[in-house]
Amino acid sequence: MPNRSTGWITRIASAMGGFVAHRDPRMAYGNLIAVLVGSNQPLFPLTLYFVLGDAARPSLWGMISTLFFCAVPLVARSNVSAAKLLLSLYASLHTAAYVLLMGQGAGFELYFLPCILLSALLFPARQRLLGWALCAVPALLFFAVQRLAGQAGQFGAGAVASLWQVNAISVACLTAMMGMLAPAPRDRYPS
């Protein structure tokens, strides 16, 4: 007899699995990453609020981004290429927007690294040129926001250091999760 306290977790996990499932393993991977990142978006401004207090208000727009990330599996049902493009570009633009809103030097720009990894993992060998081009987008945005964004120093040195630590750990965990969940690279090595 199933435990009542874990039954709802099983139902949610089953529904999530059905939502992100796709016949293309790379798209299923992209769907899973999009939903995991999207489901974290409402929590991220709260984390910033604990570090910055009211100065974290500009980050509240990030809650809206949940809709865009969670729309990826819906788009993938009708157009896989558009869904991969949406996820890759939106993740990079989302990161750039955070750097512009919150300032550079607090670690928000570190999120460009998983954006590059995501673009590299979404596309098979036959679409490698597109994958490389999309890997360049976060790199180009990194240099663009370096010129446009102000310093995050308005938060104070202690808060900036705390933000950098939170962002560095978050990026490390996200990157590790992306690596562990990535589909096997079958299409790179012909049998």
Distance CA 140, CA 154 (A): 25
Specify if 176 maps to a domain: yes
Give the chain's domain count.
Answer: 1
Domain-embedded: residue 74: yes
Map tokens 């990030």 to a residue.
62
What amino acid is encoded at 11 in this protein?
R
pTM score, two decimals? 0.87
What pLDDT is recorded for position 149?
Answer: 79
Q: Which amino acid is at 131?
A: G
135-139, 153-157, 163-167: the lowest-pLDDT one: 153-157
In-domain check, residue 189: no
Residue 95 lies in a domain: yes
Q: Looking at this protein, which amino acid is placed at residue 55?
A: A
Q: Return d(Cα 169, Cα 175) in angstroms, integer.
A: 10
Within 13 Å, how many C-alpha atoms sit on residue 70's CB side?
12
Asked whether residue 116 is assigned to any structural domain, the reply reads yes
Confidence at residue 14, expressed as pLDDT on a 0 to 100 scale: 81
pLDDT band at 3 (very low <50, low <70, confident <90, very high): low
Q: Which residue has the higher pLDDT, 8 or 89?
A: 89
pLDDT of residue 5: 66
Write the pLDDT tens digit of every residue in 9-63: 788 778 878 888 899 999 999 999 999 999 988 888 888 888 888 888 888 888 8
pLDDT at 4: 65
Residue 11 lies in a domain: no
DSSP one-letter code for 123 = S
CB-CB contact of 100 with 148 (8 Å): yes
**Per-residue tokens: 100:** 């512009």
In a domain, 119, yes or no: yes
Nearest CA-CA partner of 105 in 172, 164, 61: 164
The domain of 173 spans: 17-183
For residue 118, which of 143, 99, 137 has the smallest C-alpha distance? 137
Token pair listed for 1: 């007899």
**Contact by Cβ (8 Å): 118, 33:** yes
The answer to whether residue 98 sits within a structural domain is yes
Q: Does 1 score more than 60 pLDDT?
A: no
For 80-98, the pLDDT digits (tens) are 999 999 999 999 999 999 9
**CB-CB neighbours of 24 under 10 Å:** 16
Identity (one letter) of the amino acid at 47?
Answer: T
